[in-house]
Amino acid sequence: MTMIHIRAAEFSNTCRVHGVQGSPTDFLLCAVAVRHDWEIFTEDSDFQLYGQHIPIALHEVAADAT
């Protein structure tokens, strides 16, 4: 198991303690993004919930870009 997988499990556990569940893939993506200081570009509202409990950054989309 790599450090990224361990971090993803920690993120999952942290969110679960706060009543937020997500997929292993979502938390792996979060762990990679945090490790590389990347923003996550998604329309999946689950990531906003994760962001309340783990240190992810979400890419802000301009209102006129839709």
Nearest to 44 by CA among 31, 61, 32: 61
Structure confidence at residue 66 (pLDDT): 57
Nearest to 44 by CA among 64, 63, 58: 58
Percent pLDDT > 90 in the chain is: 86
Dig out the tokens for 51 from the structure. 């962001």
Nearest to 26 by CA among 12, 6, 41: 12
Structure confidence at residue 51 (pLDDT): 98
Q: Band the pLDDT of 24: cuts 50, 70, 90.
A: very high
CB 33 within 8 A of CB 39: yes
Structure confidence at residue 35 (pLDDT): 97
Q: Band the pLDDT of 62: cuts 50, 70, 90.
A: confident
How many CA atoms does the CB half-sphere of 22 hold within 13 Å?
28
